[in-house]
Amino acid sequence: MKKRLLITRRLPAAVEARANDTYDVLQAQDDHQMTTDEIVEKAKGVDAVLITITDKMRKEVIEALPDSVKALSTFSIGFDHIDLEAAKARKLPVGNAPHGVTVATAEIAMLLLLGSARRASEGERMIRAKAWPGWAPLQLVGRRLDGKKLGIYGFGKIGQALAQRARGFDMEIHYHDIVRQPADKEKGAIFHDTLDSLLSVSEFFSINAPSTPETRYFFNSATIEKLPQGAIVVNTARGDLVKDDDMIAALKSGRLAYAGLDVFAGEPKINEGYYDLPNTFLFPHLGSAAIEARNQMGFEALDNVDAVFAGKDMPFKLA
């Protein structure tokens, strides 16, 4: 008899096909965002739950899950939406999907860097508004990337993948992380043992760190003042790493030249101040939105569930 699996959102066809082949799947066909109460209710009699980044599995939700649930796996690399301590307390194994997002998110970070430097969003808006007066020598003049210093805050898989792509644009790579990477992973990138040191040289600054109590809202007015005048900032990590009011003020004043943002605090309801800023390049959390990435994320999330019911440790275990 098949185990019962609750999947909280619609996933790519290949992922759903594999899930349905292995499990008796319970899933909302209309792809609505389930409330946590709905997840708890639908999990009755279910053996495992596959969630996404938008499902906030707080302590009280973890504790309310039926005893039948023996595994929790998230369709995401991030896990700040899950109370891991609560899961450990009830001995509920939790896993994530850490590898599928790497290339896709690095591509989006590179797109934000290039689009910000070359003022792509302003040009696109001009065309769509039928407001292009024709070519002019000083129209939407931006910057080239070659020879510029790119500071990467968080040099894990995504940070390293971004560095690889930025080298193709002849950028000089600098980074800061809590651990220095070996030379074969640095590939010539310059390590800074403090964030302040990295900020001081970063003409372009990419946020690739996880959201933790230590990093949350680290990018604020004090941080911005340590960047070179007119720096360009991109964020493909988590929205709550940025203090929005400080970022917006710096963009309005010209202290920051441009920001390319794929993630926001409180998304999809983002700070209203971003909407009318011309010097922003804004995406609706597209980081992993490539079919190859989403398939791999789904397969990794299912690998975790499969392992539990095979009597093994999850391959991507968090708790």
CATH number of the structural domain spanning residue 263 = 3.40.50.720
Assigned domain for 12 exists: yes
CA–CA distances in Å: residue 57 to residues 11, 54, 164, 312:
19, 9, 35, 24
Does the active-site annotation cover 267? yes
- For residue 220, give Cα distances in angstroms to 4, 227, 241: 46, 11, 9
Residue 236 CA to residue 208 CA, distance in Å, equals 6
- Which listed residue (18, 167, 180, 285) is catalytic? 285
Given pLDDT bands bounded at 50, 70 and 90, which one contains residue 63?
A: very high
* 314 within domain boundaries: no
Q: Quickly state the pLDDT bin for 28 (edges 50, 70, 90).
A: confident
Task: Mark whether 113 and 71 lie in a shared domain.
Answer: no
Closest CA to 156 of 116, 213, 215: 215
Instruction: Please answer whether residues 258 and 117 qualify as being in contact, where contact means their C-beta atoms are separated by less than 8 angstroms.
Output: yes
Active site residue 238: yes
SS3 (DSSP) at 121: helix
Span 222-244, average pLDDT: 98
Residue 49 DSSP SS3: strand
Same domain, 118 and 260: yes
Annotated catalytic residue 174: no
In a domain, 235, yes or no: yes
- Does 257 lie in the same domain as 113? yes
Q: What pLDDT band is residue 188 in, cutting at 50, 70 and 90?
A: very high
Q: How far, in Å, CA of 271 to CA of 246, rounded?
A: 11
Q: Check 118, 238, 294, 300 and give the catalytic one.
A: 238
Q: Domain for residue 316, yes or no?
A: no
Q: In the predicted model, is pLDDT for residue 147 greater than 90?
A: yes
The pair of three-digit structure tokens given for residue 265, joined into one six-digit string: 């605090």
Q: How far apart are CA 283 and CA 78, in angstroms?
A: 18
* Range of the structural domain that residue 80 is part of: 4-100+291-309
Domains held by the chain: number: 2
Average pLDDT, the chain: 97
Determine the pLDDT at residue 275.
97
Residue 169 pLDDT more than 90? yes
